[in-house]
Amino acid sequence: MILMNYIAAFFLIVLGLYTIVTKYNLVKTVIGLSIMDYGVNLLIVTIGFNPGGTAPIFTFSELNPSSFFVDPIPQALTLTSIVIGACVTAMSLALVMKIYEQYGTMDTREVRRLRG
Amino acid sequence: MFSLAFLQTALLYLGYILIFPGFLFCFVIGLLLCGIDRKAVARMQKRVGPPILQPFYDFFKLCGKETIVPAAANRTTFMLAPLVGLAALVVIQLFIPVFNFRVFRNLPEVADIIVILYLLLIPAVSVMLGGAATGSPYAGVGLSREMVTVLAVELPLVLVLLSVAKTVGNALGNGLVFSLSGIVDFQAAHGSLIGRVSMIPAALAMLLIIPGETGNHPFDAAEAETEICEGLLAEYSGAPLGIYKLSHAVKMLTLTSLFVALFLGGIGTGVEHLVAAIGLTGGFAAALSLILQVLILVLLCIVLTLVTISFVHAVTARLKIEQLFKYYWTVVTGLALISLVLAWYGY
Amino acid sequence: MMNVLSYQHFPIYAIMVLFLGAFLIVLFGKNKIARSCLALLSVTGSLALLVSLVPRVMLNGEIITYWMGNRAYAGGYAIGIALEVDALSLFFALLIAVAVFVSCVYSIRYMEHDDNIPQYYTLFLMLAGGVLGLVLSGDLFNMFIMVEILTFAAVALTAFRNTARGALEAAFKYLVVGSIGSTCILAGTIMLYAQVHTLNFAQLSALIPGHLNGSTRVAFALLFVGFSTKAFLVPFHPLAADAHGAAPASISVLISGVLTKSGIYGIIRLVYFLFQSMGLRPIQFMLVFVGSVSMFVCVTMALAQHDFKRLLAFHSISQIGYVLTAVGLSTALGISAGLYHAMNHTIFKGLLFLAAGAVLHETGTTDLDRLGGLSKRMPHTTVLFLIGAASISGIPPFNGFASKWLIYQAAYLRAVETGNIGYLLVTIIALVTSTLTLASFVKVSQSVFFGRLPEEFKDVKEVPFGMRFAMSLFAILCVLTGLLPDLVTKLLSGPAAQAVLNPIRYIAAARGIEMPVENAALPQAAGAWSPINWLLLLGIALFAITLVALLGKYDQVSENASGEKLPAKYDLFFSGEKSVYSQVGGGDLFWGFKHNWRHYFSFMHDLHSGVVNDYALWAVVALALAIAFLQIVL
Amino acid sequence: MFKKLIEESTGKSPWLFHINAGSCNGCDIELVSVLTPRYDAERLGFKLAGTPRHADIVVVTGPVTQQSLNRVLRTIEQVPEPRCIVTMGSCPQSGNVFRGSYAIAGPLSKYVHVDVDVAGCTPKPEAVIDGLVKATEILREKRRAMK
């Protein structure tokens, strides 16, 4: 089952990149970024997953060599990563709005005053 | 600190800078080379030609002329640029050994050949900035061409220097020698580099580089007097112009003596033995051998000037700037590259 | 319990001071004086804290390991969050602190006419804190977080003047490709974590070389590409050009002097610490190849530019190419030269961007085809600019030459040592690139500071003292680091290079083990260059010539004294016509060069299409190539 | 002594600047022929300069048309002191066959002080050289008069 997760993570990352590269709409580019981010988040969670493990909530007295739990660090990382992803999305959407105001278009092929 | 010995050393170095091989030597020999060049070109064109001392007359005349600073010019840069360029050239001349004689014999070496490569840019940059500071459109075109000439010459010059460094390094078995006095010492012991197969293309390339670097005909697109009114110098008059003309002459000396140091370094070093063989010793012998070496150097510089500058001048027409660039990056670079590859594989 | 004032705390204080300043400015930033004082205080504090660490870390070779909340290394695993400051970290931290300090001093006058200045300072300090956190962090995930913070702040600051031409566009492109890079870093981090279950840098460095498999190779490629986006190496260079062109000059200083350095820092840590690939041929090849391509492509791109800041931006990447090439040589001399050049790059590029900012501040444009002749109106800026230009073009005796010279030596020595003709090619590219750099700065001098003054800029004034002061600081550093190469090598770049050569000490320090400093003597360069002596000689020669000239009445010139109607005598020679405004446009200079390279230039122009999809595609291709290359050769 | 040296040099290194003020090109060709191997004025130090800033002697050919008048005067003024003005051919002296034309502003001596006139249509190269040498003498005198 866990293999499915890895495949899905890989698929999501590639899908995100594909969207960024081929779609000529600014909003779709932002969506691509988000999809890529979700893919990585899925990857992180999957890496920390132990089949059959419990939630990693222990006090020191409960903790013994036989306690079996999923790795807590990737979960913490995922939370951070999700927050950062949300920030990036918010920021890029703000930029997209401003760009639409200035350029009057959402087409990336026309947002190219800086080139050469 | 201010002991007698210190004072003596200070005076000695001041003498080096001001008299030999510094300012005075550059002034006299440089202008002389320039005069010989003009005379030789005239003779090759079946003209009588100006007197050999003509560049001296030109220089002193320009000193006596009025200096006009155009209203659009930046006065400080306009006046300072020629002086900086000349001073930088004179200092480069201090680093080029005259066979056995070198200024910094007892001190760690100040500059190696890579540094000299970049020091040679300073006069070029100062003439460009001085010209640009006048605001003349001709200077703008001249600047563009001068810079392209520098770009064109730089690549083959780099290759020549690297191949010389590699050849000497190979022969000494320690990889590479960048030190100019090291290169000359090596030649003193093992014969001039021009005698090696791998160095012949490099020497040829260097011969072609000299007129390009000095901006002599046919590589003088930057100062074409008939099309762009002398380019960078269009607004210069009087003493600053004279100093530019002097710098140009000194550059001829610098480059030809650099050639001598790089490829013909073994020629003049036997002089001491010769002097000793006559039976002279002591300070007088040292002075005599130094004078002889300087004479040999000047002679070689004159020959080189005749070959690279005068002869090329007399038989060719001025190249357009894009032709010049192409020429240097194909023909001359090719020659230097052959040399580098030969040196790389140990020939 | 450690004393709160003990030096072990200094690194975290240095970071905190900046973030605290950012926070306080949000609260109290309405008042102009308060926000300037706060910003200056925090950057000065940060700089002072870092400088006070120099004797310990640089000279004594101490490595400061600091565990947040005192959760030290225990039971074979580093669980806590660590800051680990060795000579390499401190070297980059110092660069950053200095650049941030000068940029902050400059901002006070430079930004005074903008709106939303409190937000500017907040983002500015966040950016600074982010980069400082990145280089001082001893933890791979925290490096990622800091990368995100700095990318975020940099994007926001790029778009800060959102009415400026292309600012939003540049910010968006930067955000997209930068996010791809950040995601790469995150994915690489987590893949390494999956292999060895730790995020602590020292521990990773100890474990990864034993766990080299397909997965870690992919992680290597991901991290390499991620840090490359931060350093804007080819193929990410168009982003740098766009971002620099649009951002305020003080931010360009940070983007070029600080952000790119964080990328280089990441690459050094990745290559020489995490994977300990010192002396591995394929990795050297990769670094030197990317470095040389960046060096050459960006310098030619810069030659074709018409905009002052955009031109500087391309040069910035070109110089970063030098740094990466030198570092990639994997020799002590190469790494030390590369780090030295990284430092010099921060200084002279900072100076140049500030000069560009000064021009923009006074004239309102950076278009090379519209400017000209400003040297008469802004003499101080001109002199400062010329110092910067001479430095970056490698004109002796300024600092750019000192470090580039070491790089040439290192590359050629490497070529001779290995007998590899590729390194020879690199040496030649490096030497030629330097001349091309000179060409484009001659172009800038001609088009902006010299040449003819256009009518519309007749009344331009010199910039305020605060800005000139900031530029002078950089200019003084340019001269000093150029004249004292031995001191710089001994004090700064040498120890940092030693740290790179001895990753074992870094690993041991995290476990609390002090290893003795092995001061392997840095190899001497093959040639000779003593700038002080040269300057002395030049000084005497110049003095003598000037004296002679003055005795010969060199200074008696005819000048246009009246200043009213221009007499023909002082007019420019215009083939007899009354001179009109005429300037050879920046783009038309060097025609002879461009004509011969016209196919290359038109190809490059078409390639840099400005469409964000293309740039993203380049990133994907670079990633794919890096993964493929590392899978095959490592 | 230095002054003497400069004075001597001034006489030995006169650089020419050539202005065509509506000439028929006859004189222009003859001026160039002065510098060819046959006559070789360079043996006396003569050299054609590209810009008036470098020049000592201004050689004006042509009848000074209305169109060219201002340009000629402007250029002459841009030559640094000491300078000499030489007219070559009859046109700038009298107007020659163009005399009386509405398009002619000449003769040149109406506007500036002319030092040497070399008459002829066109003057022979020998005559031109002779005139230039005379101008050189005047140049030397002017230099002596300068402080």
| Domain ranges, residue D83 | 2-145
Say whether pLDDT at A15 is over 90.
yes
Q: Summarize the confidence of residues C68-97 as an average pLDDT.
A: 81
Q: How far apart are CA A69 and CA C49, in angstroms?
A: 42
Kindly list the structural domains of chain A, giving each domain's residue range(s) and its CATH number in brackets, ordered by start: 2-51+72-103 (1.10.287.3510)
C246-256: buried (b, 16+ CB within 10 Å) or exposed (e) per residue?
A: bbbbbbbbbbb
**Contacts of residue C560 in chain B, CB cutoff 8 Å?**
69-71
For the segment B155-203, what is each residue's pLDDT rounded down to a tens digit? Answer: 899 889 888 888 888 777 767 777 787 788 788 777 777 878 888 888 8
C-beta atoms of C612 and A80 within 8 A: no
Residue C438 C-alpha, separation from nearest chain D C-alpha, in angstroms: 28
The reported pLDDT for the residue numbered B304 is 83
- Cα C522 to Cα B30, B214, C490, C492, C496: the distances in Å are 42, 39, 10, 13, 12
Q: Summarize the confidence of residues B284-311 as an average pLDDT.
A: 81
pLDDT bracket for residue C393 (50, 70, 90): confident
Q: How far apart are CA B184 and CA B186, in angstroms?
A: 5
Cβ partners under 8 Å of residue C476, min gap 6: none
The reported pLDDT for the residue numbered B298 is 81
Q: Summarize the confidence of residues C475-498 as an average pLDDT.
A: 84
Please tell me the total number of residues recorded for chain A in this structure. Answer: 116
Q: How far apart are CA B226 and CA B306, in angstroms?
A: 24
Residue B60 C-alpha, separation from nearest chain D C-alpha, in angstroms: 5
Say whether pLDDT at A41 is over 60.
yes
C-beta atoms of C573 and D78 within 8 A: yes
C-beta atoms of C576 and D72 within 8 A: yes
Q: SS3 sequence, C560-603?
A: CCCCCCCCHHHCCCCCCCCCCCCCCCHHHCCHHHHHHCHHHHHH
C abuts A (3+ Cβ pairs < 8 Å) = yes
CA dihedral (A69, A70, A74, A77) positive or negative: negative
**Contacts of residue C190 in chain A, CB cutoff 8 Å?**
40, 43-44, 47, 74, 77
Which of C552, C569, C575 is nearest residue D77 as measured by Cβ atoms? C569
B abuts D (3+ Cβ pairs < 8 Å) = yes
Query: Among all residues of chain D, which has the CA nearest to that of C571?
Result: D78
| 3-state DSSP assignment of residue C380 | helix
Question: Strand C64-67 to strand C82-85: parallel, antiparallel, or no bridges (unpaired)?
Answer: antiparallel
Question: Strand D47-48 to strand C82-85: parallel, antiparallel, or no bridges (unpaired)?
Answer: unpaired
Helices (H), C419-530: 421-444, 465-483, 485-488, 494-501, 503-510
- Return phi, psi of residue D19, to 5°: -115, 130
Does C567 reach chain D within 8 Å, measured CB to CB?
yes
Amino acid at C444: V
Nearest to C400 by CA among C472, C468, C313, C319: C319
- Cα B24 to Cα B249, B302, C544: the distances in Å are 13, 18, 11
Which of A36, A98, A103 is nearest residue C162 as measured by Cβ atoms? A98
The CATH number assigned to the domain holding D141 equals 3.40.50.12280
C-beta atoms of D40 and B238 within 8 A: no
pLDDT bracket for residue C585 (50, 70, 90): low
pLDDT bracket for residue A32 (50, 70, 90): very high
Q: Summarize the confidence of residues C73-89 as an average pLDDT.
A: 79
For the segment A47-82, what is each residue's pLDDT rounded down to a tens digit? Answer: 888 777 777 777 766 666 666 777 788 888 888 889
The reported pLDDT for the residue numbered C586 is 64
Helices (H), D58-124: 66-77, 91-94
Q: What pTM was computed for the model?
A: 0.90
Residue D70 C-alpha, separation from nearest chain C C-alpha, in angstroms: 8
The reported pLDDT for the residue numbered C255 is 86
DSSP tag of B319: P
- Evaluate whether B181 touches B108 at the Cβ level (below 8 Å): no
Q: Summarize the confidence of residues B18-36 as an average pLDDT.
A: 84
The reported pLDDT for the residue numbered C523 is 59
Q: How far apart are CA C632 and CA B197, in angstroms?
A: 42
The A-side interface with C (CB below 8 A) comprises 13, 17, 20-24, 26, 29, 33, 36-37, 40, 43-44, 47, 71, 73-74, 77, 80-81, 84, 87-88, 91-92, 95-96, 98-99, 102-103, 108-109, 111-116
Q: How far apart are CA A76 and CA B150, in angstroms?
A: 59
Say whether pLDDT at C248 is over 80.
yes
Say whether pLDDT at C157 is over 90.
no
Nearest to C612 by CA among B242, A27, D34, B193: A27
- Evaluate whether D77 touches D120 at the Cβ level (below 8 Å): no
Residue D134 C-alpha, separation from nearest chain C C-alpha, in angstroms: 26
Query: Among all residues of chain A, which has the CA nearest to that of C615?
Result: A21
Q: How far apart are CA C253 and CA C146, in angstroms?
A: 19
**DSSP H or E segment with residue C558:** strand C557-558
The reported pLDDT for the residue numbered C225 is 92
pLDDT bracket for residue B74 (50, 70, 90): confident
C-beta atoms of A113 and C166 within 8 A: yes
The reported pLDDT for the residue numbered C1 is 46
Nearest to C444 by CA among C590, C233, C602, C591: C590
Instruction: Count up the domains in chain D and report the number.
Output: 1
Nearest to A89 by CA among C179, D33, B99, C511: C179
The reported pLDDT for the residue numbered A14 is 92
- Evaluate whether C233 touches C320 at the Cβ level (below 8 Å): yes
A abuts B (3+ Cβ pairs < 8 Å) = no
Both tokens of C236, joined, read 């990410």
Q: Summarize the confidence of residues D108-121 as an average pLDDT.
A: 86
Does C579 reach chain B within 8 Å, measured CB to CB?
yes
Size of interface A-C (CB pairs under 8 A): 116
The reported pLDDT for the residue numbered A12 is 92
Q: Summarize the confidence of residues C604-628 as an average pLDDT.
A: 88
Query: Among all residues of chain D, which has the CA nearest to that of B52?
Result: D43
Nearest to C252 by CA among C164, C133, C370, C374: C164
**Contacts of residue D53 in chain C, CB cutoff 8 Å?**
573
**Contacts of residue A22 in chain C, CB cutoff 8 Å?**
613
The reported pLDDT for the residue numbered A11 is 92
Q: Which of B170-184, C161-175, C252-266, C371-385 has the lowest mean pLDDT?
A: B170-184
Q: Summarize the confidence of residues C86-97 as an average pLDDT.
A: 88
Provide, rounded to the nearest whole percent, the portion of chain C with pLDDT above 90: 2
Say whether pLDDT at B2 is over 70.
no
For the segment C7-43, what is each residue's pLDDT rounded down to a tens digit? Answer: 888 888 888 889 898 888 888 878 888 888 888 889 8
Residue A31 C-alpha, separation from nearest chain C C-alpha, in angstroms: 11
Does C215 reach chain A within 8 Å, measured CB to CB?
no
- Give how far the C-alpha of residue C581 lies from the chain's centroid of Cα atoms, to the nearest Å: 37
For the segment C274-329, what is each residue's pLDDT rounded down to a tens digit? Answer: 888 777 788 888 888 899 998 888 888 888 888 888 888 888 889 999 999 998 88
Cβ partners under 8 Å of residue B267, min gap 6: B99, B192, B260, B296, B300
pLDDT bracket for residue A31 (50, 70, 90): very high
Residue B148 C-alpha, separation from nearest chain C C-alpha, in angstroms: 6
Q: Summarize the confidence of residues B218-226 as an average pLDDT.
A: 75
Amino acid at C553: K
For tokens 């700089």, the residue is C47
The reported pLDDT for the residue numbered B1 is 53
Does B62 reach chain C within 8 Å, measured CB to CB?
no
For the segment C333-390, what is each residue's pLDDT rounded down to a tens digit? Answer: 888 889 989 989 999 988 998 888 888 888 888 888 788 778 878 888 888 898 989 8
The reported pLDDT for the residue numbered B230 is 77
Q: Summarize the confidence of residues D83-103 as an average pLDDT.
A: 86
**Contacts of residue D77 in chain C, CB cutoff 8 Å?**
567-569
The B-side interface with D (CB below 8 A) comprises 38, 42, 45-51, 54, 56-61, 63-68, 138, 224-226, 228-230, 233-238, 241
A abuts D (3+ Cβ pairs < 8 Å) = no
Packing angle, helices B121-134 and B238-263, rounded to 10: 160
The reported pLDDT for the residue numbered A35 is 92
